[in-house]
Structure 1
Amino acid sequence: MIVLFTDFGIRDPYVGQIKARLAECAPGQAVVDLLHEVPDFNAHAGAHLLAALASNFPPGSVFLAVVDPGVGTPRGAVALQAGGRWFVGPDNGLLSVVAARAADRRVWRIAWQPEALAPTFHGRDLFAPIAAEIARGESPAAKLQQVDALAVEFDAGDLARVIYIDHYGNAWTGLRAVPSDARVSAAGGTFRYSESFGGVAKGEGLWFMNSAGLLELAVNRGSAAAVYGLEVGDPVRVQRPN
Protein backbone atom coordinates (compact mmCIF):
# COMPACT_ATOMS: atom_id res chain seq x y z
CA MET A 1 0.00 0.00 0.00
CA ILE A 2 1.27 3.46 -0.95
CA VAL A 3 -0.15 6.32 1.10
CA LEU A 4 -0.10 9.87 -0.26
CA PHE A 5 0.34 12.80 2.15
CA THR A 6 0.90 16.21 0.54
CA ASP A 7 0.02 19.89 0.44
CA PHE A 8 -0.82 19.68 -3.28
CA GLY A 9 -4.57 20.14 -2.94
CA ILE A 10 -7.00 18.37 -5.24
CA ARG A 11 -7.87 21.09 -7.76
CA ASP A 12 -4.51 20.98 -9.52
CA PRO A 13 -2.94 18.23 -11.66
CA TYR A 14 -0.14 17.28 -9.24
CA VAL A 15 -1.84 14.41 -7.43
CA GLY A 16 -2.94 12.90 -10.74
CA GLN A 17 0.60 13.10 -12.08
CA ILE A 18 1.97 11.37 -8.98
CA LYS A 19 -0.61 8.60 -9.32
CA ALA A 20 0.23 8.13 -12.98
CA ARG A 21 3.91 7.67 -12.11
CA LEU A 22 3.02 5.20 -9.35
CA ALA A 23 0.79 3.25 -11.73
CA GLU A 24 3.74 3.04 -14.13
CA CYS A 25 6.32 2.07 -11.50
CA ALA A 26 4.18 -0.07 -9.17
CA PRO A 27 1.20 -1.43 -11.14
CA GLY A 28 -1.37 -3.18 -9.00
CA GLN A 29 -0.35 -1.47 -5.77
CA ALA A 30 -3.16 0.14 -3.79
CA VAL A 31 -2.74 3.91 -3.55
CA VAL A 32 -4.52 5.70 -0.70
CA ASP A 33 -5.09 9.47 -0.61
CA LEU A 34 -4.58 10.21 3.07
CA LEU A 35 -4.37 13.99 2.92
CA HIS A 36 -3.61 16.54 0.22
CA GLU A 37 -4.56 19.60 2.27
CA VAL A 38 -1.62 19.73 4.65
CA PRO A 39 -1.18 23.47 5.38
CA ASP A 40 0.74 24.90 2.44
CA PHE A 41 4.54 24.87 2.80
CA ASN A 42 4.19 23.97 6.50
CA ALA A 43 6.46 20.98 7.14
CA HIS A 44 6.23 21.56 10.90
CA ALA A 45 2.46 21.16 11.02
CA GLY A 46 2.72 18.33 8.51
CA ALA A 47 5.20 16.47 10.69
CA HIS A 48 2.77 16.35 13.60
CA LEU A 49 -0.17 15.43 11.39
CA LEU A 50 1.77 12.63 9.73
CA ALA A 51 2.89 11.19 13.07
CA ALA A 52 -0.69 11.16 14.35
CA LEU A 53 -2.21 9.63 11.22
CA ALA A 54 0.42 7.07 10.23
CA SER A 55 -0.16 4.77 13.20
CA ASN A 56 -3.58 3.79 11.82
CA PHE A 57 -1.99 2.13 8.79
CA PRO A 58 -0.68 -1.44 8.76
CA PRO A 59 3.00 -2.30 8.96
CA GLY A 60 4.61 -2.33 5.55
CA SER A 61 2.69 0.72 4.32
CA VAL A 62 4.79 3.14 2.27
CA PHE A 63 4.09 6.83 2.81
CA LEU A 64 4.92 9.22 0.01
CA ALA A 65 5.03 12.45 2.01
CA VAL A 66 5.62 15.73 0.19
CA VAL A 67 5.45 19.15 1.79
CA ASP A 68 8.49 20.59 0.13
CA PRO A 69 8.90 24.36 -0.15
CA GLY A 70 12.66 23.80 -0.64
CA VAL A 71 12.23 21.59 -3.71
CA GLY A 72 15.04 22.15 -6.20
CA THR A 73 17.46 23.43 -3.55
CA PRO A 74 20.25 21.36 -1.94
CA ARG A 75 17.87 20.09 0.78
CA GLY A 76 18.18 16.35 1.24
CA ALA A 77 15.85 13.58 0.08
CA VAL A 78 15.37 10.57 2.33
CA ALA A 79 13.75 7.22 2.92
CA LEU A 80 12.87 6.36 6.51
CA GLN A 81 11.83 3.08 8.07
CA ALA A 82 10.05 3.66 11.39
CA GLY A 83 7.54 1.63 13.35
CA GLY A 84 7.43 -1.02 10.63
CA ARG A 85 6.36 1.51 7.98
CA TRP A 86 8.26 3.33 5.24
CA PHE A 87 8.32 7.07 4.60
CA VAL A 88 9.80 8.75 1.52
CA GLY A 89 10.12 12.51 1.19
CA PRO A 90 12.23 15.62 1.71
CA ASP A 91 14.66 15.93 4.61
CA ASN A 92 13.13 19.17 5.88
CA GLY A 93 11.65 17.99 9.19
CA LEU A 94 8.48 16.51 7.67
CA LEU A 95 9.46 12.95 8.64
CA SER A 96 11.23 13.84 11.87
CA VAL A 97 8.37 13.50 14.37
CA VAL A 98 7.52 10.04 13.05
CA ALA A 99 11.20 9.12 13.34
CA ALA A 100 11.64 10.48 16.85
CA ARG A 101 8.56 8.73 18.24
CA ALA A 102 9.40 5.32 16.78
CA ALA A 103 11.25 2.75 18.87
CA ASP A 104 13.02 1.51 15.75
CA ARG A 105 14.13 3.66 12.84
CA ARG A 106 16.62 3.61 9.99
CA VAL A 107 17.37 6.49 7.65
CA TRP A 108 18.76 6.54 4.13
CA ARG A 109 19.69 9.47 1.96
CA ILE A 110 18.39 9.11 -1.59
CA ALA A 111 21.60 9.21 -3.60
CA TRP A 112 19.97 8.68 -7.01
CA GLN A 113 18.47 11.00 -9.56
CA PRO A 114 16.40 9.97 -12.57
CA GLU A 115 17.45 11.15 -16.03
CA ALA A 116 14.42 13.45 -16.12
CA LEU A 117 14.06 15.38 -12.88
CA ALA A 118 11.89 18.50 -12.90
CA PRO A 119 13.43 20.96 -10.42
CA THR A 120 9.97 21.78 -9.05
CA PHE A 121 8.42 18.29 -8.93
CA HIS A 122 10.57 15.85 -6.99
CA GLY A 123 7.38 14.26 -5.67
CA ARG A 124 6.67 12.78 -9.09
CA ASP A 125 10.16 12.29 -10.47
CA LEU A 126 12.25 11.34 -7.42
CA PHE A 127 10.12 10.28 -4.48
CA ALA A 128 7.42 8.34 -6.36
CA PRO A 129 9.83 5.90 -8.07
CA ILE A 130 11.60 5.19 -4.78
CA ALA A 131 8.30 4.66 -2.95
CA ALA A 132 7.15 2.38 -5.77
CA GLU A 133 10.26 0.19 -5.55
CA ILE A 134 9.85 -0.19 -1.80
CA ALA A 135 6.14 -1.01 -2.18
CA ARG A 136 7.01 -3.69 -4.76
CA GLY A 137 9.31 -5.28 -2.20
CA GLU A 138 12.37 -4.53 -4.29
CA SER A 139 14.95 -2.82 -2.10
CA PRO A 140 16.39 0.20 -3.94
CA ALA A 141 19.68 -0.33 -2.10
CA ALA A 142 21.81 0.97 -4.98
CA LYS A 143 19.91 4.26 -4.84
CA LEU A 144 20.16 4.77 -1.07
CA GLN A 145 22.97 5.58 1.32
CA GLN A 146 22.35 4.85 4.99
CA VAL A 147 22.93 7.77 7.37
CA ASP A 148 22.81 8.11 11.13
CA ALA A 149 19.95 10.60 11.36
CA LEU A 150 17.80 13.07 9.50
CA ALA A 151 19.43 16.42 8.78
CA VAL A 152 16.43 18.44 10.01
CA GLU A 153 14.63 17.40 13.18
CA PHE A 154 11.72 19.15 14.86
CA ASP A 155 10.93 18.82 18.55
CA ALA A 156 8.83 15.65 18.74
CA GLY A 157 6.98 16.72 21.89
CA ASP A 158 3.40 17.93 21.75
CA LEU A 159 2.81 21.11 19.75
CA ALA A 160 0.39 23.51 21.44
CA ARG A 161 -0.75 25.11 18.20
CA VAL A 162 -3.40 24.65 15.56
CA ILE A 163 -1.87 22.43 12.87
CA TYR A 164 -4.82 21.78 10.54
CA ILE A 165 -8.34 23.07 9.89
CA ASP A 166 -10.74 20.68 8.17
CA HIS A 167 -13.56 21.69 5.83
CA TYR A 168 -16.01 21.84 8.74
CA GLY A 169 -13.85 24.49 10.38
CA ASN A 170 -12.67 22.14 13.13
CA ALA A 171 -9.15 22.96 14.29
CA TRP A 172 -6.74 20.11 14.99
CA THR A 173 -3.87 20.74 17.36
CA GLY A 174 -0.57 18.98 18.01
CA LEU A 175 -1.59 18.07 21.56
CA ARG A 176 -2.05 14.49 22.75
CA ALA A 177 -3.41 12.82 25.89
CA VAL A 178 -5.06 15.89 27.42
CA PRO A 179 -7.22 15.04 30.46
CA SER A 180 -10.92 15.83 30.20
CA ASP A 181 -10.83 18.21 33.15
CA ALA A 182 -8.25 20.49 31.52
CA ARG A 183 -9.19 24.05 30.66
CA VAL A 184 -8.56 24.77 26.97
CA SER A 185 -8.51 28.20 25.33
CA ALA A 186 -7.45 29.64 21.98
CA ALA A 187 -8.01 32.82 19.96
CA GLY A 188 -9.59 34.53 22.96
CA GLY A 189 -12.21 31.82 23.50
CA THR A 190 -12.60 29.05 26.04
CA PHE A 191 -13.77 25.62 24.94
CA ARG A 192 -15.72 23.14 27.04
CA TYR A 193 -14.80 19.47 27.01
CA SER A 194 -17.18 16.98 25.43
CA GLU A 195 -16.59 13.49 24.09
CA SER A 196 -18.39 14.44 20.88
CA PHE A 197 -20.24 17.28 19.19
CA GLY A 198 -23.71 16.45 20.52
CA GLY A 199 -22.58 16.89 24.12
CA VAL A 200 -22.90 20.68 23.84
CA ALA A 201 -25.59 22.98 22.51
CA LYS A 202 -25.80 23.94 18.85
CA GLY A 203 -23.35 26.76 18.17
CA GLU A 204 -21.34 26.13 21.34
CA GLY A 205 -17.58 25.62 21.28
CA LEU A 206 -16.04 22.38 22.52
CA TRP A 207 -12.81 20.48 22.62
CA PHE A 208 -12.34 16.73 22.41
CA MET A 209 -9.70 14.13 21.62
CA ASN A 210 -10.26 13.23 18.00
CA SER A 211 -9.95 9.92 16.20
CA ALA A 212 -6.27 10.60 15.44
CA GLY A 213 -5.52 11.11 19.13
CA LEU A 214 -5.15 14.89 18.90
CA LEU A 215 -6.96 17.63 20.77
CA GLU A 216 -9.47 19.24 18.41
CA LEU A 217 -11.42 22.50 18.73
CA ALA A 218 -14.89 22.63 17.23
CA VAL A 219 -18.34 24.23 17.29
CA ASN A 220 -21.38 21.98 17.30
CA ARG A 221 -22.90 22.28 13.82
CA GLY A 222 -20.74 25.29 13.11
CA SER A 223 -17.21 26.35 12.22
CA ALA A 224 -14.73 26.96 15.01
CA ALA A 225 -12.45 28.66 12.49
CA ALA A 226 -15.17 31.15 11.55
CA VAL A 227 -16.62 31.71 15.03
CA TYR A 228 -13.29 32.15 16.80
CA GLY A 229 -11.12 33.30 13.90
CA LEU A 230 -8.81 30.31 14.32
CA GLU A 231 -5.93 29.87 11.90
CA VAL A 232 -3.13 27.35 11.47
CA GLY A 233 -0.31 28.33 13.80
CA ASP A 234 -2.51 29.86 16.50
CA PRO A 235 -1.35 28.96 20.00
CA VAL A 236 -3.58 26.77 22.18
CA ARG A 237 -3.44 27.06 25.95
CA VAL A 238 -4.09 24.05 28.14
CA GLN A 239 -4.37 24.45 31.90
CA ARG A 240 -4.11 21.01 33.38
CA PRO A 241 -5.61 20.21 36.79
CA ASN A 242 -3.26 20.31 39.78
Structure 2
Amino acid sequence: MIITLLSDFGYQDNYAAVTKGILLQQMPHANIIDLSHDVEPYHLLECSYLLKSGYTNFPDYTVHLSLFNILHENPAKVLLARKNNQFIISADNGLLPLTFDDTLDAIYKYDAFAKNYTEWMQLAARLIKDLEQSQFDLKNLEAYQPATNGAQFSAIESENAIECQVIHIDYYGNVIVNITNDKFEQIRQGRNFQIHIVRDVLNKIGTDYADVTEPGKAVCLFNSAGFLEIAVNQGSASKLLGLKLHKDKMIYYQHIKIEFL
Protein backbone atom coordinates (compact mmCIF):
# COMPACT_ATOMS: atom_id res chain seq x y z
CA MET A 1 0.00 0.00 0.00
CA ILE A 2 1.13 3.54 -0.79
CA ILE A 3 0.51 6.25 1.82
CA THR A 4 1.39 9.90 1.18
CA LEU A 5 1.89 12.44 3.97
CA LEU A 6 1.04 16.14 3.79
CA SER A 7 1.62 18.46 6.75
CA ASP A 8 2.80 21.80 8.10
CA PHE A 9 5.30 20.09 10.44
CA GLY A 10 8.49 21.22 8.69
CA TYR A 11 11.71 19.27 9.26
CA GLN A 12 13.08 20.85 12.44
CA ASP A 13 11.15 18.48 14.73
CA ASN A 14 10.47 14.75 14.69
CA TYR A 15 6.71 14.84 14.05
CA ALA A 16 6.96 13.46 10.49
CA ALA A 17 9.20 10.60 11.64
CA VAL A 18 6.91 9.78 14.58
CA THR A 19 3.97 9.67 12.16
CA LYS A 20 5.79 7.16 9.97
CA GLY A 21 6.64 5.07 13.03
CA ILE A 22 2.98 4.85 14.07
CA LEU A 23 1.97 3.83 10.55
CA LEU A 24 4.73 1.22 10.28
CA GLN A 25 3.71 -0.35 13.59
CA GLN A 26 0.35 -1.17 12.00
CA MET A 27 1.61 -1.78 8.44
CA PRO A 28 5.34 -2.67 8.30
CA HIS A 29 5.11 -3.16 4.53
CA ALA A 30 3.65 0.28 3.76
CA ASN A 31 5.33 2.48 1.16
CA ILE A 32 5.25 5.95 2.76
CA ILE A 33 5.91 8.97 0.54
CA ASP A 34 6.26 12.57 1.71
CA LEU A 35 4.04 14.78 -0.43
CA SER A 36 5.20 17.83 1.54
CA HIS A 37 5.85 18.90 5.12
CA ASP A 38 6.47 22.55 4.23
CA VAL A 39 2.89 23.83 4.21
CA GLU A 40 2.77 27.29 5.78
CA PRO A 41 1.44 26.68 9.32
CA TYR A 42 -2.38 26.95 9.39
CA HIS A 43 -2.47 28.05 5.72
CA LEU A 44 -5.42 26.01 4.47
CA LEU A 45 -5.27 27.33 0.87
CA GLU A 46 -1.69 26.18 0.40
CA CYS A 47 -2.42 22.77 1.89
CA SER A 48 -5.40 22.45 -0.42
CA TYR A 49 -3.31 23.36 -3.49
CA LEU A 50 -0.58 20.84 -2.67
CA LEU A 51 -3.15 18.09 -2.18
CA LYS A 52 -5.18 19.03 -5.26
CA SER A 53 -2.12 19.25 -7.52
CA GLY A 54 -0.46 16.10 -6.18
CA TYR A 55 -2.92 13.29 -5.53
CA THR A 56 -3.77 12.51 -9.16
CA ASN A 57 -0.20 11.37 -9.88
CA PHE A 58 -0.48 8.22 -7.77
CA PRO A 59 -1.79 4.72 -8.53
CA ASP A 60 -5.33 3.70 -7.67
CA TYR A 61 -5.95 2.91 -4.01
CA THR A 62 -3.26 5.24 -2.73
CA VAL A 63 -4.14 6.75 0.66
CA HIS A 64 -3.31 10.43 1.05
CA LEU A 65 -2.99 11.32 4.74
CA SER A 66 -3.28 15.01 5.62
CA LEU A 67 -1.77 15.87 8.99
CA PHE A 68 -2.63 19.53 8.63
CA ASN A 69 -4.32 21.21 11.62
CA ILE A 70 -5.54 17.95 13.10
CA LEU A 71 -6.66 19.49 16.38
CA HIS A 72 -8.84 22.09 14.66
CA GLU A 73 -11.45 20.78 17.09
CA ASN A 74 -11.08 18.73 20.23
CA PRO A 75 -11.89 15.90 20.30
CA ALA A 76 -10.86 15.52 16.66
CA LYS A 77 -12.57 13.44 14.01
CA VAL A 78 -10.94 11.22 11.39
CA LEU A 79 -12.58 11.68 8.00
CA LEU A 80 -12.15 9.57 4.87
CA ALA A 81 -12.98 10.75 1.35
CA ARG A 82 -12.92 8.86 -1.93
CA LYS A 83 -12.06 10.48 -5.26
CA ASN A 84 -11.54 8.40 -8.41
CA ASN A 85 -10.14 5.43 -6.48
CA GLN A 86 -7.85 7.71 -4.44
CA PHE A 87 -8.50 7.94 -0.69
CA ILE A 88 -7.92 11.05 1.40
CA ILE A 89 -7.84 11.07 5.21
CA SER A 90 -8.09 14.38 7.04
CA ALA A 91 -9.36 16.01 10.20
CA ASP A 92 -12.65 17.88 9.99
CA ASN A 93 -10.94 21.23 9.37
CA GLY A 94 -12.44 22.34 6.04
CA LEU A 95 -9.73 20.82 3.81
CA LEU A 96 -11.94 18.28 2.04
CA PRO A 97 -14.79 20.59 0.95
CA LEU A 98 -12.34 23.37 0.04
CA THR A 99 -10.20 21.10 -2.14
CA PHE A 100 -12.86 19.03 -3.86
CA ASP A 101 -16.06 21.12 -3.74
CA ASP A 102 -18.90 18.69 -4.42
CA THR A 103 -16.88 16.30 -6.60
CA LEU A 104 -16.01 13.70 -3.97
CA ASP A 105 -17.52 10.25 -4.42
CA ALA A 106 -18.29 10.13 -0.70
CA ILE A 107 -17.08 11.30 2.74
CA TYR A 108 -17.14 9.09 5.82
CA LYS A 109 -16.41 9.51 9.53
CA TYR A 110 -14.47 6.96 11.54
CA ASP A 111 -16.28 5.70 14.63
CA ALA A 112 -13.94 7.18 17.26
CA PHE A 113 -12.55 10.54 18.35
CA ALA A 114 -9.07 11.65 19.40
CA LYS A 115 -8.01 14.04 22.17
CA ASN A 116 -4.43 14.52 20.97
CA TYR A 117 -2.24 14.04 17.91
CA THR A 118 -0.96 10.58 18.85
CA GLU A 119 -4.48 9.24 19.38
CA TRP A 120 -5.56 10.73 16.03
CA MET A 121 -2.65 9.10 14.23
CA GLN A 122 -3.34 5.74 15.83
CA LEU A 123 -6.95 5.94 14.67
CA ALA A 124 -5.85 6.96 11.16
CA ALA A 125 -3.36 4.07 11.04
CA ARG A 126 -6.06 1.64 12.16
CA LEU A 127 -8.43 2.99 9.50
CA ILE A 128 -5.83 2.58 6.76
CA LYS A 129 -5.11 -0.98 7.88
CA ASP A 130 -8.85 -1.74 7.92
CA LEU A 131 -9.19 -0.33 4.40
CA GLU A 132 -6.41 -2.57 3.15
CA GLN A 133 -7.78 -5.68 4.84
CA SER A 134 -11.32 -5.06 3.55
CA GLN A 135 -10.00 -4.31 0.04
CA PHE A 136 -11.32 -0.75 0.36
CA ASP A 137 -14.89 -1.76 1.12
CA LEU A 138 -16.43 1.29 2.82
CA LYS A 139 -19.85 -0.11 3.70
CA ASN A 140 -19.17 -0.16 7.46
CA LEU A 141 -18.29 3.52 7.65
CA GLU A 142 -20.74 6.29 8.50
CA ALA A 143 -21.47 8.92 5.82
CA TYR A 144 -20.66 12.41 7.02
CA GLN A 145 -21.06 16.05 5.95
CA PRO A 146 -17.77 17.83 6.78
CA ALA A 147 -17.43 21.30 8.19
CA THR A 148 -16.52 24.29 6.04
CA ASN A 149 -14.58 27.29 7.28
CA GLY A 150 -15.64 29.94 4.77
CA ALA A 151 -12.35 29.91 2.84
CA GLN A 152 -12.59 30.17 -0.97
CA PHE A 153 -10.09 28.39 -3.20
CA SER A 154 -11.22 29.89 -6.50
CA ALA A 155 -10.20 33.31 -7.78
CA ILE A 156 -12.74 36.15 -7.76
CA GLU A 157 -14.34 36.35 -11.19
CA SER A 158 -16.19 39.07 -13.07
CA GLU A 159 -17.09 39.53 -16.74
CA ASN A 160 -13.90 41.40 -17.59
CA ALA A 161 -11.42 40.51 -14.85
CA ILE A 162 -10.11 37.87 -12.47
CA GLU A 163 -8.56 38.71 -9.10
CA CYS A 164 -6.18 35.93 -8.09
CA GLN A 165 -4.51 35.16 -4.79
CA VAL A 166 -1.12 33.58 -4.11
CA ILE A 167 -1.67 30.03 -2.85
CA HIS A 168 1.86 28.60 -2.99
CA ILE A 169 5.47 29.73 -3.32
CA ASP A 170 7.88 26.96 -4.29
CA TYR A 171 11.52 26.42 -3.36
CA TYR A 172 12.70 28.61 -6.25
CA GLY A 173 10.43 31.50 -5.32
CA ASN A 174 8.01 30.82 -8.16
CA VAL A 175 4.54 32.06 -7.26
CA ILE A 176 1.39 29.99 -7.94
CA VAL A 177 -2.01 31.67 -7.97
CA ASN A 178 -5.50 30.21 -7.82
CA ILE A 179 -6.57 30.22 -11.46
CA THR A 180 -6.34 27.21 -13.76
CA ASN A 181 -5.76 27.17 -17.50
CA ASP A 182 -9.26 25.82 -18.13
CA LYS A 183 -10.93 28.52 -16.03
CA PHE A 184 -8.75 31.24 -17.58
CA GLU A 185 -9.74 30.25 -21.12
CA GLN A 186 -13.40 29.89 -20.14
CA ILE A 187 -13.51 33.49 -18.91
CA ARG A 188 -11.16 34.89 -21.55
CA GLN A 189 -13.23 33.74 -24.56
CA GLY A 190 -10.43 34.60 -26.97
CA ARG A 191 -9.91 38.18 -25.72
CA ASN A 192 -6.59 39.94 -25.19
CA PHE A 193 -5.55 40.37 -21.58
CA GLN A 194 -3.22 42.12 -19.19
CA ILE A 195 -1.80 40.52 -16.06
CA HIS A 196 -1.06 43.13 -13.39
CA ILE A 197 1.68 41.94 -11.04
CA VAL A 198 2.52 44.70 -8.56
CA ARG A 199 4.51 47.08 -10.77
CA ASP A 200 4.66 44.87 -13.90
CA VAL A 201 2.06 44.34 -16.63
CA LEU A 202 2.28 41.24 -18.84
CA ASN A 203 0.13 40.52 -21.89
CA LYS A 204 1.23 37.02 -22.79
CA ILE A 205 1.53 33.62 -21.18
CA GLY A 206 4.62 31.58 -21.93
CA THR A 207 5.02 27.87 -22.40
CA ASP A 208 8.18 27.41 -20.30
CA TYR A 209 10.68 29.32 -18.18
CA ALA A 210 12.97 29.94 -21.17
CA ASP A 211 10.40 32.28 -22.73
CA VAL A 212 12.25 35.15 -21.03
CA THR A 213 16.02 35.28 -21.51
CA GLU A 214 16.86 38.47 -19.64
CA PRO A 215 17.73 37.94 -15.95
CA GLY A 216 15.22 39.52 -13.60
CA LYS A 217 12.35 39.54 -16.10
CA ALA A 218 9.03 37.95 -15.15
CA VAL A 219 7.12 35.32 -17.10
CA CYS A 220 3.68 33.78 -16.56
CA LEU A 221 2.91 30.21 -17.52
CA PHE A 222 0.57 27.41 -16.54
CA ASN A 223 2.45 24.78 -14.54
CA SER A 224 2.20 21.01 -14.79
CA ALA A 225 -0.75 21.03 -12.38
CA GLY A 226 -2.60 23.52 -14.62
CA PHE A 227 -2.30 26.57 -12.32
CA LEU A 228 -0.96 30.00 -13.29
CA GLU A 229 2.63 30.47 -12.16
CA ILE A 230 4.73 33.63 -12.03
CA ALA A 231 8.49 33.14 -12.37
CA VAL A 232 11.53 35.38 -12.78
CA ASN A 233 14.52 34.44 -14.90
CA GLN A 234 17.39 33.51 -12.57
CA GLY A 235 15.60 34.98 -9.59
CA SER A 236 12.84 34.61 -7.03
CA ALA A 237 9.51 36.04 -8.17
CA SER A 238 8.34 36.13 -4.57
CA LYS A 239 11.28 38.23 -3.39
CA LEU A 240 11.76 40.43 -6.46
CA LEU A 241 8.05 41.22 -6.83
CA GLY A 242 7.26 41.31 -3.12
CA LEU A 243 4.60 38.59 -3.35
CA LYS A 244 3.54 36.61 -0.29
CA LEU A 245 1.02 33.90 0.46
CA HIS A 246 -2.53 35.22 0.53
CA LYS A 247 -4.03 35.71 3.97
CA ASP A 248 -7.31 37.16 5.14
CA LYS A 249 -7.36 40.97 5.33
CA MET A 250 -4.31 41.22 3.08
CA ILE A 251 -4.03 44.59 1.37
CA TYR A 252 -5.17 44.88 -2.23
CA TYR A 253 -1.84 45.14 -4.01
CA GLN A 254 -1.06 41.53 -3.16
CA HIS A 255 -3.79 40.40 -5.52
CA ILE A 256 -2.83 39.42 -9.08
CA LYS A 257 -5.38 41.00 -11.39
CA ILE A 258 -6.07 39.75 -14.91
CA GLU A 259 -8.02 42.19 -17.10
CA PHE A 260 -9.65 41.14 -20.37
CA LEU A 261 -9.69 43.74 -23.15
TM over 0.5: yes
Counterpart in the other structure of 1:183: 194
Question: What is the TM-score when the length of structure 2 is the normalising length?
Answer: 0.78
Matching of residue 236 in structure 1 with residue 259 in structure 2: no
SS of the residue corresponding to residue 55 of structure 1 reads helix
Q: 1:97 to 1:59 in 2, by over 3 A?
A: farther
Asked whether the equivalents of residues 173 and 214 of structure 1 are also in contact (C-alpha less than 8 Å), the reply is: yes
The answer on whether the counterparts of 2:49 and 2:168 sit within 8 Å (CA) in structure 1 is no
Structure 1, unpaired ranges of 5+? none
1:226 to 215, 239, 243: 239
1:135-150 to 2 correspondences below 5 Å: 135=132, 137=134, 144-147=141-144, 149-150=145-146
Tell me if 1:61 matches 2:62.
Answer: yes
Judge which range, 40-49 or 69-78, deviates more. Answer: 69-78
More moved, 205-214 vs 39-48? 39-48
Aligned-partner Cα distance in 1 for 2:206–2:66:
33
Provide the rounded CA distance (Å) in 2 between the counterparts of 1:9 and 1:17: 13
The residue aligned with 1:198 is 210
- Equivalent positions of 1:1-242 (< 5 A) are 1-68=2-69, 70-71=71-72, 73-74=74-75, 76-100=77-101, 102=103, 104-113=104-113, 119-121=116-118, 124-135=121-132, 137=134, 144-147=141-144, 149-152=145-148, 154-155=151-152, 157-158=154-155, 160-177=164-181, 178-179=184-185, 182-191=193-202, 193-200=205-212, 201-233=214-246, 234-240=254-260, 242=261
CA–CA separation in structure 2 for the residues paired with 1:237 and 1:35: 29
How many pairs does the alignment contain?
Answer: 236
From the superposition, tell whether residues 142 and 59 of structure 1 become closer, same or farther in structure 2 (CA, over 3 Å). closer
Q: For 1:189 and 1:75, locate their aligned partners in 2 and report how far apart those are by CA, in whole Å.
A: 45
Q: 1:158 and 1:84 mapped to 2: Cα distance?
A: 28
Distance 1:135 1:212, change over 3 A: farther
Distance 2:255 2:219 in 1: 16
Give the whole-Å Cα distance in 2 for the aligned partners of 1:51 and 1:221: 28
Task: Supply the AA of the counterpart residue of 1:56.
Answer: N
* CA shift for structure 1 position 143: 8.0
Decide whether aligned partners of structure 1 residues 220 and 79 sit closer, same or farther in structure 2, where only a CA change above 3 A counts.
same
AA matched with 2:258: V
Question: Cα deviations across residues 172-230 of structure 1 (Å, max 9, x unaligned)?
Answer: 11210135954222334334522111110221111110111111111111101110111
| Distance in 1 between residues matched to 2:102 and 2:59, nearest whole Å | 17
Larger RCO (CA within 8 A; separation ≥ 6): 1
Structure 2 Cα separation of the partners of residues 98 and 136 of structure 1: 28
TM-score (norm 1): 0.84
State the Cα distance separating 1:37 from its structure 2 match.
Answer: 1.1
Query: Residues 68-105 of structure 1, C-alpha deviation per residue, up to 9 Å, x if partnerless?
Result: 16445245431111222111011111122443263x51
How many Å separate the matches in 2 of 1:161 and 1:50? 17
Structure 1 residues 83 and 213: alpha-carbon distance in aligned structure 2, compared to 1, 3 A threshold: same
Q: Which amino acid aligns with 1:185?
A: H
Aligned residues of 1:3 and 1:63 also touching (Cα < 8 A): yes
CA contact (8 A) 1:110 1:143 kept: no
The runs of 5 or more residues in structure 2 that have no matched partner are: 157-163, 247-253
Residue 168 of structure 2 aligns to a residue whose secondary structure is: strand
Q: Residues 217, 112 of structure 1: CA spacing in aligned structure 2 closer, same or farther, 3 A cutoff? A: same
Normalized per residue, the structure richer in strand is 1
Distance in 1 separating the partners of 2:102 and 2:155: 11
CA RMSD between the two structures: 2.8
In the aligned structure 2, how far is the partner of 1:60 from the partner of 1:227?
Answer: 42
Classify the secondary structure of the residue corresponding to 1:91.
coil
Query: Residue type matched to 1:237 in 2?
Result: K
